[in-house]
């Protein structure tokens, strides 16, 4: 069985610590600033990169769960590093048949970024997600075992190719910007030399 489960820290404590579930049958991906991991548990991994940036959170504080907030966070999920992590999650669920739990603190549920990650994975990879409550009630309904691993691998390959093209374009753009700044610095040097030779006091170029 392969599930993608959304969970907060309180649900985790209730389900796992009270022995309602065997934690070994899950892989926990901690996407939280509030929850700290010590690296001792082999099935618990921090994914800090998927946490909304301060700029995204500021939008939430100013406007709440608005379209602007959603668009900003989705745009952040489309950055190179995030897309690679999301591809890894998809591979874990479908390719490895893992029960993956996306977990944040109870306080962080207000930002609903776990829901947005789940929606992104559904849109790109077709992976269904559910709350822990729904998982317990009807696990078969939310099983992703019927998804084709070959199809997921094809999508991941396409995603990685896009990331590669975008990365090269960004690198080229940064190189061009660096060259322009260098040319501007060289021009300032030449103008300064001319001013000095002509006995004209230098004026800073802005």
Q: What is the Cα 144 distance to its own chain's centre?
A: 21
From first to last of its 206 residues, what are the pLDDT tens digits of the chain?
Answer: 799 999 999 998 888 766 567 788 899 999 999 998 887 778 899 999 999 999 999 999 999 999 999 999 999 999 999 999 999 999 999 989 999 999 999 999 999 999 999 999 999 999 999 999 999 999 999 999 999 999 999 999 999 898 887 667 666 666 666 556 566 555 555 555 544 555 545 444 44
Residue 66: HSE in the Cβ half-sphere, 13 Å Cα cutoff? 12
Cα dihedral 59, 63, 68, 73 sign: positive
Q: Who's near 79: CB < 8 A, 6+ residues apart? A: none
Q: How far apart are CA 38 and CA 96, in angstroms?
A: 25
**Could you tell me the pTM of the whole model?**
0.79
Q: Three-state SS across the chain?
A: CCCEEEEEHHHHHHHHHCCCCCHHHCEEEECCCCCCCCCCCCCEEECHHHCCCHHHHHHHHHHCCCHHHHHHHHHHHCCHHHHHHHHHHHHHHHHCCCCEEEEECCHHHHHCHHHHHHHHHHHHHCCCCEEHHHHHHCHHHHCCCCCCHHHHHHHHHHHHHHHHHHHHHHHHHHHHHHHHHHHHHHHHHHHHHHHHHHCCCCCCCC
Name the phi and psi angles at 42, rounded to 5.
-70, -20
Residue 144 near residue 61 (C-beta atoms within 8 A): no
């Amino acid at each position: 069985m392969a599930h993608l489960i959304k969970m907060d820290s309180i649900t985790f404590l209730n389900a796992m610590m009270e022995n309602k579930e065997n934690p070994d049958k899950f892989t926990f991906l901690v996407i939280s600033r509030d929850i700290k991991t010590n690296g001792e548990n082999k099935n618990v991994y921090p994914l800090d990169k998927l946490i909304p940036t301060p700029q995204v959170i500021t939008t939430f504080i100013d406007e709440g769960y608005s379209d602007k907030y959603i668009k900003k966070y989705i745009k952040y999920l489309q950055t190179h590093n995030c897309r690679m992590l999301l591809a890894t999650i998809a591979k874990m669920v479908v390719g490895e048949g893992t029960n993956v739990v996306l977990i944040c603190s109870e306080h962080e549920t207000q930002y609903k970024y776990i829901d947005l990650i789940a929606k992104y994975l559904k849109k790109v990879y077709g992976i269904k997600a559910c709350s822990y409550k729904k998982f317990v009630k009807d696990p078969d309904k939310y099983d992703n075992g019927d998804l084709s691993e070959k199809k997921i691998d094809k999508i991941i390959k396409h995603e990685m190719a896009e990331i590669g093209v975008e990365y090269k374009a960004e690198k080229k753009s940064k190189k061009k910007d660096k060259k322009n700044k260098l040319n501007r610095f060289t021009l300032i040097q030449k103008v300064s030399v001319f001013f000095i030779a002509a006995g004209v006091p230098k004026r800073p170029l802005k």
